[in-house]
Amino acid sequence: MASEKKSEDGGSLEEKVLLPSQRSMQVASFKVMDVLRRANELQASGVPVLHCEVGQPQSGAPVRVAEAAIKALSGPPRQVMGYTDAFGLPALRAKIAQHYAAKYTSSAGDALAVDPKQIVVTTGSSGAFLLAFTACFDTGDAVAIASSGYPCYRNILSALA
């Protein structure tokens, strides 16, 4: 519902409420996030909670990673930490490719060669699946999902339908 509001110069502004899309209302919640939200509410109210709902790491970042983050964040005052390549830092993608070559072998027994240009770094698995699904499927495509698969697959595909 819209309501009248006055702007700084005395003119009228209309306040509008942004409602969720119909599509978003049809996507079921990701149950583990519902459980996490409730567990966090209980914990915030003083109830002791042992979190077993998500695959959350139980340790902090490795010391070298934490030190590198501190160094990057406390660099020279004029150092700008701007946007990165949309697919991730090229040096990181190259290191990931090197890791695959050192750790994995192809069916022929050779080091597994992965071109860094084929590597995409994301903030997590859900973001990665969203990118992969939008790259692989069009609206209306039939997609089979294993019943023991990652629960978020269904939610992401429903949102993209």
Mean pLDDT of the chain: 83
Q: List pLDDT tens digits, range 6-59.
A: 556 555 556 678 888 887 777 777 788 889 999 999 999 999 998 888 776 678
10: left (phi over 0), alpha (psi -120 to 50) or beta: left
Q: What span, in angstroms and rounded, lies between the C-alpha atoms of 74 and 70?
A: 6
Tell the burial category of 39 from Cβ atoms under 10 Å away from its Cβ (0-12, 13-18, 19+).
middle
